[in-house]
Amino acid sequence: MGGGVAVVGSANLDFTILLPRLPAVGETVGDGRFLRAWGGKGANQAVAAARAGAPTAFIAAVGDDALTREMVAGWRADGLDLAHLAVRPGVDTGAALVLVGAGGGNYLAVAPGANHALTPADLPGSLAGAGAGAGAGVLVLQMEVPLATTRAAIALARRAGVPVLLNYAPAETVHEDLLAVDVLVVNEVEAAALCGRGDGGAAALLHRRGAGCAIVTLGAGGAVLADAAGELHLPAFPVAAVDTTAAGDTLCGVLAAGLAAGLPVRAALRRAMAAAALCVGRAGAQTSIPRRVEIDALLETHP
């Protein structure tokens, strides 16, 4: 494919409490540890692609406050091209509250804020310059910005001949036209919402419904890929989970980086799963996303 990665999506200020266990409804669990980090599916995926070595452009909408400016500075430090970052004065940046229990399970609540203010007018006129000047080789999308913006981005990619990777998350409503992308990535819960089954068999169903390549992630069960070449189950890398936040986003970003670099989808997915394994061994969203050298090292120990 060649070129870089362009990500259109969400950005959140993440406020996380690490707990010995997740509370029941109405229960207070003490002895937590507070962690402030940056998140949002779009931002996480952009950071993951950049740290994996891909020139990456991030197109998003944010507010204009001190914490947001600190977050944007972190993106710049990771090398993201922010030429099309839309700043909305007077609008809150998206925010997420995350509770994480022992073993990495979590509860999440999100206030979308400026993410819902990202419009088709904020998109670049062409993807030729997206991806830190290299031109986009892959466009990455999720479902945390307005549907009209997502559809406009897909149309932009189609006109440019750029493959689309859609992480259909969250999967609150089924839009059949969005399933017909080049690469569709969902987890078990999202797969169940889209096609009625939340296991690896969903990959083949989603491929038949239009996805050029459908990938269903299964947590510790690995991932299943279905495309014109058939089905493949890849086992997960062994890891002691600390926090599963951003694991799926890390997989999507590193997968996109691999595809943009010209890797076959199966090899790109293997790299992406290695990155996700490293991610779940750490706390936080973007604080947990690994860099290329770490991914390479893990793959060397698990050929």
Per residue in 244-274, pLDDT (tens digit) is 778 999 999 999 999 999 999 999 999 999 9
Give the Cα separation of 191 and 169 in Å (integer). 10
Share of the chain above pLDDT 70, in %: 97
Tell me which of 78, 227, 249, 296 is the catalytic residue. Answer: 249
Q: Inform me whether the pLDDT recorded for 128 exceeds 80.
A: no
Q: Inform me whether the pLDDT recorded for 132 exceeds 80.
A: no
pLDDT of residue 105: 79
Task: Write out pLDDT tens, residues 197-246.
Answer: 999 899 999 999 999 999 999 999 999 999 999 999 999 998 888 877 78
pLDDT of residue 133: 46
pLDDT of residue 1: 42
pLDDT of residue 90: 92
Q: Inform me whether the pLDDT recorded for 49 exceeds 50.
A: yes
Give the Cα separation of 100 and 122 in Å (integer). 34
> What are the residues whose beta carbons fall under 8 Å from the beta carbon of 29, sequence distance 6 or more?
19, 20, 21, 22, 23
DSSP the chain: --SEEEEE---EEEEEEE-SSPPPTT----S-EEEEEEE-HHHHHHHHHHHTT--EEEE-EE--SHHHHHHHHHHHHTT-B-TTPEE-TTSPPEEEEEEE-TTB-EEEEEE-GGGGG--GGGS-S-STTTTTTS-EEEEEE-SSS-HHHHHHHHHHHHHHT--EEEE--S-SS--HHHH-SSEEEEEHHHHHHHHS--STTHHHHHHHTT-SEEEEE-GGG-EEEEETTEEEEEPPPP---SB-TTHHHHHHHHHHHHHHTT--HHHHHHHHHHHHHHHHTSSSSGGG---HHHHHHHHHH--
Q: Inform me whether the pLDDT recorded for 93 exceeds 80.
A: yes
Instruction: Delineate the domains of the chain, giving CATH numbers in brackets.
Output: 4-11+40-94+115-301 (3.40.1190.20)
When mean pLDDT is compared across 93-107, 121-135, 154-168, 206-220, the lowest value belongs to 121-135
Q: Inform me whether the pLDDT recorded for 135 exceeds 70.
A: no
User: Nearest-5° angle of CA 298, CA 106, CA 216?
Assistant: 55
Q: Decide if 249 is catalytic.
A: yes
Contact 145, 58 (CB under 8 A): no
| pLDDT, average across residues 177-198 | 96
In one-letter notation, the amino acid at residue 132 is A
Q: Give the distance from CA 80 to its chain's centroid.
A: 15
Task: Write out pLDDT tens, residues 137-151.
Answer: 999 999 999 999 999
Task: Write out pLDDT tens, residues 7-46.
Answer: 999 999 989 898 999 999 999 998 899 988 898 999 999 9
